[in-house]
Structure 1
Amino acid sequence: MDWLKDPGFLGTHATIGADLSQFMATLFTGLFIVGWIQAKQRKADAHHWLMLGGMISMLSFFIAYYLFRQLGVLAVEGKEGFGGSQALYDYVFIPVLTLHIILVIIGLVMAVYMIVLGFRSQQVISGVRSLRESLLVTTWKKVGVIFGVVTVVVLGLFFSRVATAGFSMRKLEVYLGLLLLVGIVLAIEITIQRIWPDGGRRHRALGRFTMVIYCILFATGTFTYTMLYILYPGKIG
């Protein structure tokens, strides 16, 4: 993966990895905006497949981008560091970067949740896909069973990797992070279903919220990219 550290293709001071991450962020945001427009136009089937493919692709990219830290505008070190003043770094760049990271976490959780909710709240009648306007709730018993099964599967995968490649704290963090993500998604379901028990209404409301998060996420990511690689490239000195 050393090629990711080579000069990028967008004509800035960024590496290929950083340029690739910015390009993918732009692509995913564009896809989600199109999907949101499709939902507003009641094109349910096109919306379903576009958002499903987009979110799965985004999650796959997220794993490479953040967990393995091979790609990224957030790697503030070496030639990818910030070259502006310390005051600008402390009071502008870091606050925006912190907000970006928080939104990344929220966006990841909502992506997983919206994929699950999309399947649970839809119906297909005579080949026509639509949202089901009916009660959609999950019991604590079902949540416990789901989390238990996922825990067994994840730990099984972890110990199989340990048996073949040896123990690694980094690997343990990744698998525990996956379990934490599943737990958060299930907790969100239990909490939100009290506010919007109707599945169709819940999907629409949370879809709008998720779309806003992704737009702000793109704006903050573009801001940090511009600060790092266009306006103030270089290492903090």
Structure 2
Amino acid sequence: MRYILSNLILVVLLTNCTSENNNKLQIATASNMQFVSKKLCEAFTQETNIECEMIVSSSGKLCAQIISGAPFDIFISADMKYPEILFNENKTLGRPKIYTQGKLVLWSLKDTLFNTLDILKNNNVKHICIANPVTAPYGIAAAETIKKKFGNTINQKIVKGESISQTNQFILSKAADFGFTSLFIVNSDFLKNKGKWIMVEDSLYQPIKQGIVTIKGDRVKLAQQFEQFILSEKGQKIIDPLNN
């Protein structure tokens, strides 16, 4: 039976730093990027003395909040679709830019040995968690993978979290036997030694091109500095090791 687990959990991560002008950038970041974005915020603050506050949720929900007037300065998305929507809604300073290409993994904390996706056909596997494809780009990639690899044969095992964050919680709590998440998550300092994961073949899902865009507002000059930092060599040196 397929169902959506609907209780949304917004994770707010604060990066503590000192700002001479007390200008705090509001960084809306996709759930799969929460740990990477924290590192980026810390490095950016150290270099510029500009304080950052992170608001973490699914890309679709963050996009909807920005359209509704949420005072965010930067949108770090898990795809290009939602930043493009904001551009078309005249909410951004310019067109979004690709800052990385995401990678999908299958992850489990159960005591099960596996090295291929075929483990999901096992009768002992009861629950496979994916992020909601309606709002979460990695949920779309997971749904594409399942459809291409298994057709409809394991659909009865699928449960959905509202975002990658909630999907990760179900995996970590072992409420789900397996789950599809981002390589950025399992490579993070906090989770890199937990459970077992395998990379999903990129031929099974559309490329996950992740975009960043500056939102129109009172702090656009500071926000542009942050965007440029992420796209710079320094920013990419923080991102790349967690995506390989």
> TM-score, structure 2 length as denominator?
0.28
> TM-score, structure 1 length as denominator?
0.29
Query: Which structure is richer in relative contact order (CA contacts within 8 A, separation 6 or more)?
Result: 1
Q: Whose helix fraction is larger, Structure 1's or Structure 2's? A: 1
